[in-house]
Amino acid sequence: MGWFRQLSCAWQKKQLQRPELATMFTQSAPEQWVAIDCEMTGLNPKKHHLLSIAAIHINGNTIDTGNGMHLVCRPPVMPDRDTIVIHGLRTADVEHGMSYDEMLALLLPFIDNRPIVGFCPQIDTGFLNPLVKRYMGTTLPNEVIDVRHLYSRRMGDRTQGIPTQSQQLGNILAHYQIPKLGSHDAYNDAIMTAMAFLHVR
């Protein structure tokens, strides 16, 4: 952990209101990550809502799919029909979901101090961090790794001229001949992100 992240974590830990989560601010073990993926009603955290989140541990070269987590939440506003095509979740799927606090009580110990791996993870953390800050007094202290950036770095000049295409998860999966699982499902997306990460890291 670099000195800047150490200072940042130390400052964040002082804001922590839930002592049981103090281990999130410790140094992570080597070769351990957590892949996450969220489904939302849209992409703007100020007017859209988190519907579900999946998280899966990556240990070395192994994806622990048998011990993953897929949590469905009840949003403050039910998803409308126009957005169901985006996230695949109907009112019937989320109206009996857990509260955001119930979700975080399960999710945060599972994430713990592992670096977070995602595809455009800044979108996911953009929805999570306001909820996390309300819940524990500070935002996620974890390092965040974007599979797109790793892929672009690995491909170098070969991605020049097609930046948007090269950043699509489907293209990365195809490049490494990784099977594509069903879309609009947070758990499947987290597994595919984890598989892509193991190829590009």
pLDDT digits over 19-47, tens only? Answer: 999 999 999 999 999 999 999 988 899 99
* Residue 166 pLDDT: 44
Q: Give the tokens for residue 104.
A: 């975080």
Distance from CA of residue 20 to its chain's centroid?
22
Strand-pair category, 116-118 with 50-59:
unpaired
DSSP 73: B
94: left (phi over 0), alpha (psi -120 to 50) or beta: alpha
Residues 6 or more apart whose Cβ sits within 8 Å of residue 129: 139, 140
Domain ranges within the chain, ordered by starting residue: 3-145
* Residue 3 pLDDT: 65
Residues 3-145, CATH architecture:
2-Layer Sandwich (3.30)
Q: How far apart are CA 15 and CA 21, in angstroms?
A: 12
| Cβ-contact 135, 20 below 8 angstroms | no
Sign of CA dihedral 88, 92, 93, 98: positive
Question: Nearest to residue 201, comparing CAs of 58, 57, 49, 85?
Answer: 58
CA angle 83-149-175, nearest 5°? 80
Which amino acid would we find at residue 48? H
Q: The whole model's pTM is what?
A: 0.89
Distance from CA of residue 176 to its chain's centroid?
21
In order along its 201 residues, the chain shows pLDDT tens digits of 666 677 788 888 889 999 999 999 999 999 999 999 999 988 899 999 999 999 999 999 999 999 999 999 999 988 777 665 555 677 777 888 999 999 999 999 999 999 999 999 999 999 999 999 999 999 999 999 999 999 988 887 565 544 454 458 888 999 999 988 876 689 999 999 999 999 999
